[in-house]
């Protein structure tokens, strides 16, 4: 009989009562080996580590014991975007400093590109809490951090969480409704959309907001005017902007998934000799600093990134202190900032 074959009978009933020893019996390894996996320490064969991680995930294990924490909060990004990341970190820092904690960050995309196991290394550092702003966060990584007992909060999660991890996000749908309503009020009835990747929750909510605003006005979104990007990039805005402006009946306004895509549409309009806002209105999302400096200044939906960071920090430190958290999803208000990139459509 293989090691651990009778462990299921030995393990306590409810998954949350599993001990390290019970997990070790199920995996056919020693309890110190399971502890090494939970603490991100070396000395475990890759196949054994994967087997233990799989069992921790399948059994819903969560570490009950108190462990020593480093005096820091760590923010995990997947590709660090300067304008967004800096504001988010400022908010985290403001709250963490009030608790005497430092703030560190991990760029998981960069770590993975050089073959480093960022999740394992994060476990080894054992910060007081982890804030994840991570488009590429896998369910396996999610489950491992959760099993380790690290207090964990997600900012703008890419989808509805598979595990009960608290999250903080901007009111994406409300922001898109406000942006679309602004264009409708100006008289636009042919509105194009350049959105982010539709597997992401925020992209779907923004597209739903546009549809909601149009439907309330008795109109519908022309699907031929919708383009989906992959990374919210300038290059996507440029490519999709070119496509939309080459149509026989192009849109008179374009709503973009973020400000970088909007700036790409600006360049597409410049190439085509299309005036903004005289012939084309453009709306972004985020309100990064460049939105005020481009010509013309960009109408956009402001996301409160510093406030998102501060709220996530407050939430993760409450978890670290053992406080009961009743609100597992918090939405912060967005606001439409009207500048010079929008005007009534040409006659």
First to last CA, the chain: 82
Task: Give the number of other CB atoms < 10 A from CB of residue 330.
Answer: 16
> CA 190, 196, 197: angle at the middle one, nearest 5?
125
58 located within any domain:
no
Q: Are residues 7 and 121 in the same domain?
A: no
Q: Are residues 21 and 84 in the same domain?
A: no
CA-closest candidate to residue 309, choices 39, 55, 86: 86
When divided into structural domains, the chain yields a total of: 3
**pLDDT recorded at residue 14:** 40
**pLDDT recorded at residue 89:** 95
Per-residue pLDDT tens digits of the chain, which is 347 residues long: 344 434 433 444 444 467 888 888 888 899 888 888 887 788 888 888 888 888 887 887 877 656 677 899 999 998 877 788 999 999 999 999 999 999 999 998 888 889 888 888 888 888 999 999 865 566 677 777 777 878 889 998 877 655 568 899 999 999 999 999 999 999 999 999 999 999 888 999 999 999 999 999 999 999 999 999 998 999 999 999 999 999 999 999 999 999 999 999 999 999 999 999 999 999 999 999 999 999 999 999 999 999 999 999 999 999 998 888 888 889 999 999 999 999 999 98
46 located within any domain:
no
Q: Are residues 288 and 191 in the same domain?
A: yes
**pLDDT recorded at residue 139:** 67
Q: Are residues 87 and 142 in the same domain?
A: yes
Query: What is 325-344 written as a DSSP string?
Result: ---SEEEEPPEEE--TT--P
Q: Are residues 187 and 251 in the same domain?
A: yes
Q: Domain range holding 192?
A: 172-304
**pLDDT recorded at residue 103:** 96
For residue 270 the two structure tokens come to 């410049």
In this structure, what CATH number is given to the domain that contains residue 212? 3.40.50.2300
**pLDDT recorded at residue 212:** 97
Q: Are residues 182 and 300 in the same domain?
A: yes
50 located within any domain:
no
Q: Are residues 246 and 299 in the same domain?
A: yes
């Amino acid at each position: 009989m293989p090691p651990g074959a009778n462990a299921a009978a030995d393990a306590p009933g409810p998954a949350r009562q599993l001990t390290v020893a019970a997990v070790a019996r199920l995996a056919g390894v020693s309890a110190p080996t399971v502890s090494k996996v939970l603490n991100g320490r070396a000395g475990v064969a890759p196949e054994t580590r994967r087997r233990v991680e799989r069992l921790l995930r399948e059994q819903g294990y969560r570490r009950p014991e108190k462990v020593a924490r480093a005096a820091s909060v760590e923010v995990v990004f997947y590709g660090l975007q300067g304008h967004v990341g800096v504001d988010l970190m400022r908010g985290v820092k403001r709250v963490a400093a009030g608790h005497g904690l430092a703030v560190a960050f991990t760029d998981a995309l960069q770590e993975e590109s050089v073959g480093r196991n960022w999740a394992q290394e994060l476990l080894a550092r054992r910060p007081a809490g982890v804030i994840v702003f991570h488009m590429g966060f896998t369910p396996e990584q999610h489950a491992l951090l959760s099993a380790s007992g690290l207090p964990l909060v997600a900012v703008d999660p890419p989808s509805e969480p598979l595990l009960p991890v608290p999250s903080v996000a901007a009111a994406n749908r409300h922001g898109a409704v406000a942006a679309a309503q602004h264009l409708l009020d100006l008289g636009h009835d042919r509105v194009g959309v350049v959105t982010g990747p539709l597997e992401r929750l925020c992209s779907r909510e923004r597209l739903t907001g546009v549809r909601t605003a149009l439907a309330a006005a008795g109109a519908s979104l022309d699907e031929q005017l919708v383009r989906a990007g992959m990374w919210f990039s300038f290059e996507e805005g440029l490519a999709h902007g070119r496509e939309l402006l080459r149509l026989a009946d192009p849109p008179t306004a374009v709503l973009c998934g973020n400000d970088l895509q909007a700036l790409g549409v600006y360049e597409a309009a410049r190439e085509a000799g299309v005036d903004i806002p005289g012939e084309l209105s453009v709306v972004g999302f985020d309100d990064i600093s460049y939105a005020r400096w481009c010509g013309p200044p960009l109408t956009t939906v402001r996301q409160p990134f510093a406030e998102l960071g501060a709220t996530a920090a407050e939430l993760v430190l409450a978890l670290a202190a053992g406080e009961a958290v009743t609100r597992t999803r918090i939405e912060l208000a967005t606001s439409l900032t009207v500048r010079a990139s929008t005007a009534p459509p040409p006659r």
